[in-house]
Structure 1
């Protein structure tokens, strides 16, 4: 298991603890999308192939896109609830 997966799991456990304390299910579910990109980067290419057939307007991703791009997308999705919470806290000061 690489460090990216270990750190993402630790961050998710923090989210899950916070979600249980605040009784907010969305806080615990939203980061799972980001974890899917981090843990299974090839899954994004699978959904890309499905997306073109479903919407008929989506342009397919380049098949040569390195998996590190999908991992970066996953980290952005994983950390977005924390960044939104930080902005809300700073705005309420």
Structure 2
């Protein structure tokens, strides 16, 4: 009887150590998978922020472009007025 009891104890220890090894690999797999998912989410957030910043910069550049075009038109108009006034002065 004593041998049967010790054999059962050895089997129990072997099963427990096998279970611990299986759990170790499973937990490692889950941790790696969660890490990969987390990195993907971080990259997605970075992408969204960069897109938002690029759109904001584009809006700013468009506004600046419109104001530059407006100033160029005013400058051209003033140059034409100066030329007209000089021509009138030359005729006098």
Q: Which has the higher contact order (CA 8 A, sep 6+)?
A: 1
Question: Under a length normalisation based on structure 1, what TM-score does the superposition of the two structures give?
Answer: 0.26
Structure with bigger helix share is: 2
Question: Under a length normalisation based on structure 2, what TM-score does the superposition of the two structures give?
Answer: 0.26
